Amino acid sequence: MGCFPSKICRFSTPGYEDPTLLAAETAFTVSEVEALYELFKKISSSIIDDGLIHKEEFQLAIFKNQNRRDLFADRIFDLFDFKRNGVIGFGEFVRSLSVFHPNAPVADKIAFAFRLYDLRQTGYIEREELKEMVLALLNESDLILSDDIVEMIVDKTFDEADKKSDGKIDEEEWKEFVSMNPSLLKNMTLPYLKDITLAFPSFVMNSEVEDSEV
């Protein structure tokens, strides 16, 4: 397929992937993928205009501050960057956001959350990792709690989640724990992903699907 000067040619745009393919593999429709492309272009050109989302651009988009470092944003970035090349391409962006779609399978959300919290990617959420994350959150919020209270919170959580009492939470224990506390998955769903086409209308004259039928 060649590029026609009368239409916006997207094939030469770096990072672009066929929306029909992405829609087939994710919870998004073709229009939603096209809308996400508008969003992706905005974020990926904010500092370095190369069609890829760099860490600073991600931080800029989330915190309005490109230099703000945050443990949790780092985890999200690393998980989105599943090719592990230090940048988020359009395909990675769409496929990762798909997990947050209200229609995405709950099993995917549970698995994603587990990998998010498994800071050192050992396949387990260790007690130290959990404490580290609690401390990071308190620090971020300028909340001060005594170490005793933090220990107590972590202990109570671990007592409930670590059924095998081996000092770490494996994926099976995590699934069980989430089924008892479903609100833990609340941050794994972004309801407005359903409205994405309203917020980011696509400027393409005809959709990709129509083109291919010509």
Partner 1 sequence: MESNWLMKTVRGTLRSREEEEFSHVGDEDSVVKVKNIEVLNAFHIISLSEGFDLAPLFEENNKEKEQLKFAITKPPRTVISKLQEVSKTSKLNLKRSGSSVRLQGHESEEKGMVEVKEACGGTFVFNQFCTKELRPALKDIVLKSALENSTIT
Contact between 39 and partner 1 by CB under 8 A: the answer reads: yes
> CB under 8 A: which stretch of 13-21, 25-33, 64-72, 104-112 binds partner 1?
64-72
Q: Give one DSSP letter per residue of 5-53, joined into a string.
A: TTS---TTSTT---HHHHHHHSS--HHHHHHHHHHHHHHHTSSS-SSSB
> Minimum Å distance from CB 191 to partner 1?
6
SS3 154: helix
Contact between 165 and partner 1 by CB under 8 A: the answer reads: no
Contact between 181 and partner 1 by CB under 8 A: the answer reads: yes
Residue 72 structure tokens: 């949790």
> Minimum Å distance from CB 167 to partner 1?
15
Q: Under 8 Å CB-to-CB from 17, ≥6 apart: which residues?
A: 89, 90, 91, 94
Contact between 199 and partner 1 by CB under 8 A: the answer reads: yes
- The residue within the footprint of partner 1, chosen from 33, 34, 130, 168 (CB under 8 A), is 130
How far apart are the C-alpha atoms of 212 and 203, rounded to whole Å? 18
How far apart are the C-alpha atoms of 108 and 188, rounded to whole Å? 10
Q: Which residues of this protein are in contact with partner 1, per CB under 8 A?
A: 39, 43, 61-64, 70-76, 97, 100, 116-117, 130, 133-134, 136-138, 140-146, 149, 152-154, 156-157, 160-161, 181, 183-184, 186-187, 190-192, 195-196, 198-199, 201, 203, 205-206
